[in-house]
Amino acid sequence: MIKRILVPTDGSDNSLTAADYAVAIAGLFKASIKGLFVKDVKVLTGPLIHDIGTSIGGMVPYGTFNQTIREMLESQADAALALVEGKCKEAGVPFGQEIREGVVSHEIVKSADDCDLISMGKMGIHAEWRDVFLGTNVEFVVRQTHKPVLISPSEYKPFTRMLIAYDGSIFADKALKSGAEIAVAMKLPVTVVCVADKKDAALEPLSKAKTFLESYQLTVSTVAKEGTDHAKGILELCNDEDEKYDILVMGAYGHSRIQEMILGSTTARVMRSTHCPILLYR
């Protein structure tokens, strides 16, 4: 059950969209939201700032320059958290906030200890540099936290149809259960997809998933897809313009975590390329 949702924010449009999704889910489950701003230690003490401070040392002492950067971050924190608080107040959702200093992704994971869900944007305030820094914080958080993570795109859209990617793994079982709870609360029809090397191999996991979902009294359909590229199979269905799924739910790892770490994660490929929010479970 979702009782508290963590929303890391940097004031960017993506992080505010994540707040919108968090507010919608919090309203359904009578949950509260904790807004988090992390003052990035790499900005405060990184080599770039040191070099800039040194280069202007004749005009402005480095210590003064560093303090100016710190004050700018504090101002940014206040503004970013105020925006999330405003969304919560408007929806009648309880709100609390936390400001931390450190490595952003590490602090998000720590702050999530007392939360049931993390809702964060796929891109942060430097989204224009996506080819270089694509999802760095998001991917680290997904790999390190044991909390479910909702990764939002840039634009908010209400949930109307849910797609659950299922392969029978323990992570997929967690995703299936929590996806069902959200689908019931939002009255969403659910499609379960399984991608396997041979189409027949997908039938058993799909039968297991459908049997599990029967007790939730949901409208459920299943799709078996054949292919060795599991990420491609999921994305083909998820991004199909005719299907129009509004949320994808899946386990953060498949049957072999070692294989995913060495060969490149199906999870990472899906989260980078899907056009809708993706809810990941570990």
Given this model, what pLDDT does residue 63 score?
59
Q: Is the pLDDT of residue 282 over 60?
A: yes
Cβ(6)–Cβ(148) below 8 Å = no
Given this model, what pLDDT does residue 127 score?
43
Given this model, what pLDDT does residue 273 score?
85
Find the mean pLDDT for residues 156-184: 93
Residue 70 corresponds to which tokens in the numbers above? 């710190």
Report phi then psi at 2, rounded to 5.
-90, 115
Domains and CATH numbers, the chain: 4-152 (3.40.50.620), 162-281 (3.40.50.620)
Q: Which residue has the higher pLDDT, 66 or 249?
A: 249
CA 171 to the chain's CA centroid: 16
Given this model, what pLDDT does residue 67 score?
78
Given this model, what pLDDT does residue 19 score?
97
Q: Is the pLDDT of residue 5 over 80?
A: yes
Q: Is the pLDDT of residue 169 over 50?
A: yes
Given this model, what pLDDT does residue 129 score?
35
pLDDT tens digits for range 215-264: 999 999 999 999 888 889 999 999 888 888 999 999 887 655 544 544 44
Given this model, what pLDDT does residue 59 score?
52
Q: How many beta carbons lie within 10 A of that of residue 1, not counting itself?
A: 8
Cβ(176)–Cβ(164) below 8 Å = yes
Residue 51 corresponds to which tokens in the numbers above? 């070099």
Q: Is the pLDDT of residue 198 over 70?
A: yes
Given this model, what pLDDT does residue 267 score?
80
Cα 148 from Cα 115, distance rounded (Å): 10
SS3 assignment, position 188: coil
Q: Which residue has the higher pLDDT, 274 or 183?
A: 183
pTM to 2 decimal places = 0.86
Given this model, what pLDDT does residue 41 score?
82
Given this model, what pLDDT does residue 46 score?
55
Q: Is the pLDDT of residue 118 over 50?
A: yes
Cβ(171)–Cβ(281) below 8 Å = yes
Find the mean pLDDT for residues 64-79: 83
Q: Is the pLDDT of residue 124 over 60?
A: no
Q: What does pLDDT average to over the chain?
A: 85
Cβ(148)–Cβ(119) below 8 Å = no
3-state helix, strand, coil in the chain (%, to 5): 50, 20, 25
Cα 254 from Cα 251, distance rounded (Å): 7
Given this model, what pLDDT does residue 38 score?
93
Query: Which range (14-18, 49-53, 211-215) has the least confidence?
Result: 49-53
pLDDT tens digits for range 127-161: 433 433 335 788 888 888 889 999 998 899 999 99
Cβ(109)–Cβ(144) below 8 Å = yes
Q: Is the pLDDT of residue 120 over 70?
A: yes
Share of residues in the chain with pLDDT > 90 (%): 58
DSSP notation for 225-282: EE-S-HHHHHHHHHT-TTT--SEEEEESS-S-HHHHHHH--HHHHHHHH-SS-EEEE-
pLDDT tens digits for range 15-40: 999 999 999 999 999 999 999 999 98
